[in-house]
Structure 1
Amino acid sequence: MEIKRFTGYQAGSQKYDLLTAISVAGLNGTPGFQCSMMRLIALITARYNWRTDELTVGQKEMARLWSVDERTVKREIKRLTDSNILLQLRPGVRGRVAAYRLNYAEIYRLSEPVWQNVGSDFVSRMETQSPKPTEKVVHVQFGQERPVAIEHEGQDLQDPWGRALRRLSESEALLFESWYRELKFVETQDQTITLRAPSKFIAQYIQSHHLKPLLGAVQLEFGRIQKVCLLG
């Protein structure tokens, strides 16, 4: 799907529309969902980095912001990622905090039934802004376990590399289509994962320009991986 970027002279109003969509979706949901959306809005307005399109906030800071303990933070983040509202980009390893990104398509999908509650002008703007999906996606209700939704040719999505590909297709759609889709798993040894690219050029270009998202997805699924080796 198209990657949403809040840039340009209309960026401010688009951010307000996004927050409105999250608000009305929450108000139309269960008390638990309302609480989750309120916490998400607080997190976005306080700490979301729109330039990099990432959220990197430690659990202690989230707990302080939400006036809860860290155990509650862990449960809340798990609910938001399981429901596909937040996409995790990188794990919290080696002293760094985890990185997340808003899944705009899922936020628009959840809120679309109540856009009309805001007004026809809001409906018109949101229909223009909504990302257009290009992958087959299966949606579930908030709080339910999310099934594997995106199919990759010949790839078992139950294994770690298959799950890493799925993460990349969700969080880095354009990079996935252009660079990651044809990568093949070779092996893991010590803290290194070896992948094979279709060509030496692609291997070198990913290594030089697009390694960070790839490493983040690999670390989330394989654990203690510190290095990606790309063969061409």
Structure 2
Amino acid sequence: MQTLRPVGRGASARKYDIITALGAYALAQGKHDQRRVLRLLTLMTARYNWARDELAVGQREIARLWSVDERTVKREMALLRARGWLVVKRQGARGRVTEHGLDLERMLQDTEAYWAAVGPDFELRMGAAEPETSKVVLMPVKGDVRAPDLSAGTEWALAQAVLHGEDAGLYASWIAGLERVERAGGRLTLRAPSRFHGAYVQTHLERRLLAACREVDGDVTEVRIIT
């Protein structure tokens, strides 16, 4: 499959092709996915810098653009990161918004099955093979770095998506093994698989876990680790 980087000669056409692929994919999905992709497309066309692969927009501005509240923005952005379409390039801090990029390769992989619905010319253009290059052998990464399961819809499931998007290796080693126990007010309790595991997370990752939880649910004020 051809890598369609929207820069240089023919960039405008490539942008339209990517947007068309996302639109064709969305129209074949249920209403929730349709709305999510529409929100992303609107954000891309309004605020994404294609040349620099940069999407740096505050949650308040996104909420205004989408006509939703900021909590919805947190949830939707977390789901897009979990899907792999959005990638955190620089985490926001001290008034600076989080900078995202787009994984166009992942978008094209996820939408490929729907290119034929646009037409044979589009399918041929999008699937054009690149010249053969030297093969790269990828070494296995320690741990399971698959995206977390979001079906539960809890604040911890969404926070896991955020953490996975930030650092898949760290997520696989220390975060994927944490299990949600309960939520009492602002306190979220997680269970670690061992005392050592829990002590490490409590000492080194507690603030990071809390920040991710607050990104998707501002009512979380404490993350407690038990074994």
Q: TM-score, normalised by structure 1?
A: 0.58
CA distance in 2, matches of 1:99, 1:116: 33
Aligned CA distance change for structure 1 residues 129 and 22 (closer, same or farther; 3 Å): farther
Q: Which runs of 5+ in 2 are unaligned?
A: 152-156, 176-207, 212-227
Preserved contact between residue 56 and residue 98 of structure 2 (Cα < 8 Å): yes
Amino acid at match of 1:35: R
Preserved contact between residue 58 and residue 98 of structure 2 (Cα < 8 Å): yes
Aligned CA distance change for structure 1 residues 79 and 59 (closer, same or farther; 3 Å): same
Q: What is the Cα-based RMSD across aligned positions, in Å?
A: 3.9
Please say if 1:41 is aligned against 2:56. Answer: no
Amino acid at match of 2:40: L
CA distance in 2, matches of 1:11, 1:35: 26
Give 3-state SS (helix, strand or coil) of 1:101's partner. Answer: strand
Please say if 1:125 is aligned against 2:125. Answer: yes
Aligned CA distance change for structure 1 residues 56 and 156 (closer, same or farther; 3 Å): closer
Give 3-state SS (helix, strand or coil) of 2:53's partner. Answer: coil
Offset at residue 5 of structure 1 (A): 3.0
Match of 2:93 in 1: 93
Q: Which runs of 5+ in 1 are unaligned?
A: 161-219, 224-232
Pick from 173, 182, 192: which aligns with 1:158? 173
Please say if 1:111 is aligned against 2:111. Answer: yes
CA distance in 1, matches of 2:54, 2:171: 29
Match of 2:74 in 1: 74
Amino acid at match of 1:79: L
Deviation per residue, 1:81-114 (Å, 9 max, x gap) = 0111111111110111001111112111111111
Match of 1:11 in 2: 11
Aligned CA distance change for structure 1 residues 141 and 127 (closer, same or farther; 3 Å): farther
CA distance in 2, matches of 1:117, 1:69: 34
Q: After TM superposition, list the pairs within 5 Å mapping 1:1-232 onto structure 2.
A: 5-128=5-128, 143=150, 157-159=172-174
Q: How many residues matched?
A: 161
Aligned CA distance change for structure 1 residues 140 and 120 (closer, same or farther; 3 Å): farther
Preserved contact between residue 83 and residue 142 of structure 1 (Cα < 8 Å): no
CA distance in 1, matches of 2:77, 2:14: 24
Aligned CA distance change for structure 1 residues 115 and 141 (closer, same or farther; 3 Å): farther
Q: Percent identity?
A: 37
Aligned CA distance change for structure 1 residues 129 and 25 (closer, same or farther; 3 Å): farther
Aligned CA distance change for structure 1 residues 102 and 42 (closer, same or farther; 3 Å): same
Offset at residue 118 of structure 1 (A): 0.1
CA distance in 1, matches of 2:147, 2:69: 28
CA distance in 2, matches of 1:18, 1:99: 21
Aligned CA distance change for structure 1 residues 138 and 80 (closer, same or farther; 3 Å): same
Deviation per residue, 1:153-211 (Å, 9 max, x gap) = xx994149xxxxxxxxxxxxxxxxxxxxxxxxxxxxxxxxxxxxxxxxxxxxxxxxxxx
Preserved contact between residue 82 and residue 147 of structure 2 (Cα < 8 Å): no
Match of 1:187 in 2: none
Preserved contact between residue 145 and residue 171 of structure 2 (Cα < 8 Å): no
